[in-house]
Amino acid sequence: MNFESVVVRIIIYFASFLAVLVSLPCHEFAHAFVAVKNGDMTPKYSGRYTLNPFAHFDMLGLLMMILVRFGWAKPVPVNPNNFRNYKLGCVTVSIAGVTVNLILAIIFCPLMMLAYKYLSFSGTSRYLQLVLYYFLSSMFYLNLGLMVFNLLPLYPLDGFRLYDALAKRRGKFYFWLMRYSFYILIGILLLGVAADYTGIAWLDIIGFIRDYIAGWIIKFWGLFIV
């Protein structure tokens, strides 16, 4: 591995770290913001009604996110009993984080495409240009990945909270998910690692779905960026 490839790898990790610093706090703050708007002040009292990344990060989850693209932040504490409308509050708080992730991805996709189109990646500023491009790219793909991952109906992800809010009753499947979600999540992580080593892309379930959605968003913006 030559010096140039080492520098590029460091730039990719640095840009990914910056994207995590932006994306995860936005996701968690969205939960806090919508909970407060629904009448629950718990996020404010617990110091989570903020975009300060250090208020939201779990250090192990942050490290895992950077190293293996699979991590987590500290869940925002919410008391649904304080919602003015219980069901509406539960649904809107559940989807708040992934909605912000989707919005960020849609915003950063054309910025990524324009950077790729117009940056030269040469000259004395090539490393700064690479940082910019990989940051924009990370913001696009990371936020789509966070959206897909969090929509999985597995405890304690947002998809499970949404399922809980919409379910008419808590049947056997609900409690089965409560019991086995952790093991399913570990299995998904191991499949993602296996995809990296085997080159079989579809084994990375989250990445496969993320890239499928990314393709459609890129096609959409491609209608305007020629």
CA separation for the pair 54, 137 (Å, rounded): 23
Phi-psi region of 3 (alpha: psi -120 to 50; beta: other; left: phi over 0): alpha
Within 10 angstroms of residue 74's Cβ, the number of other Cβ atoms is 15
Q: What is the pLDDT of residues 67-89, one digit of tens each?
A: 666 667 788 999 999 999 999 99
Q: Give me the number of domains the chain comprises.
A: 1
Q: What is the pLDDT of residues 95-124, one digit of tens each?
A: 999 999 999 999 999 999 999 999 988 888
Please pick, among 20, 25, 28, 48, the residue that the annotation labels catalytic.
28
Quote the pLDDT of residue 65: 66
Q: 86-106 burial, b if ≥16 CB within 10 A, otherwise e? A: eeebbbbbbbbbbbbbbebbe
pTM exceeding the 0.85 threshold for the entire prediction: yes
* Boundaries of domain holding 10: 3-222
Q: What is the pLDDT of residues 168-201, one digit of tens each?
A: 888 888 999 999 998 998 898 888 878 878 888 7
Distances (CA, A) of 13 to 56, 84, 196: 20, 43, 17
Active site residue 28: yes
